[in-house]
Amino acid sequence: MPIALPPLTDSDLTLAFDLAPVGLCVSRNRIIQRCNEAYGDMFGYTAASLAGQSMSVLYPSLGEFERIGERGLLAMRDSGHYADERIMKHADGHLFWCHVVGRSLSRADPFGCAVWMFEDISLRRPVTAPLTCREREIAQLLVAGQTSKQIARTLGISPRTIDAHRARLLRKLKVNTPSEMISRLASLT
């Protein structure tokens, strides 16, 4: 026979949010309303100092913040949630890979209020080479399994431009084949 437990209180839920082992954030229009300590620590800030800040301070560049936001907005309008793995920026400037999952309160206004989970995955996927903003975007989409044509459509540029970036990524990562490049980007090697 199951034991009857008292109902959860608001303080229980606050404690669960604050002590969660992954970074949690509630945002309104991509402005951090509240985050837990794990979220602040991951980015090198206190949770209190991030409240009221644009999430853009956590991205390597404003362009990446805008482009990832555009992709996320479309997905959240369609399904109410969005997930990816992307490179983010610590307060000291170093870059690291994050697994990100978000859920919107309303599909009609996806960024009006959203809950986000960020997990630092840099131990299994370290940033191994200095990449440009565009190379990071392409790396993110390659790791997600997109082809050059799909990436070109997503980014609004030509497939030949994507191929040129892929060639540079091969050289920067010091690999010989596209599959080695994907493995290196995904830190499977």
Per residue in 82-139, pLDDT (tens digit) is: 999 898 999 999 989 899 999 999 999 999 999 999 999 988 777 766 778 788 888 8
Which pLDDT value is given to residue 36?
A: 97
Which pLDDT value is given to residue 188?
A: 38
The pTM assigned to this predicted structure is 0.71
Which pLDDT value is given to residue 18?
A: 93
Which pLDDT value is given to residue 134?
A: 85
The number of CA neighbours under 13 Å toward the Cβ of 157 is: 12
The beta strand positions in the chain, using DSSP E, are 23-28, 31-35, 81-89, 95-104, 114-120
| Percentage of the chain modeled with pLDDT above 70 | 96
What letter does residue 183 receive in the DSSP assignment? H
pLDDT at 148 over 80: yes
Q: What is the mean pLDDT of residues 70-76?
A: 94
> Two tokens at 69?
């936001």
Is residue 130 within 8 Å of residue 60, measured between CB atoms?
A: no
Average pLDDT, the chain: 89
pLDDT at 181 over 50: yes
Which pLDDT value is given to residue 186?
A: 65
81-89 vs 31-35, strand pairing mode: unpaired
pLDDT at 189 over 70: no
Question: Domains of the chain by range and CATH?
Answer: 13-120 (3.30.450.20), 133-185 (1.10.10.10)
Closest CA to 67 of 140, 147, 148: 140
Beta partners for residue 27, in sequence order: 32, 114
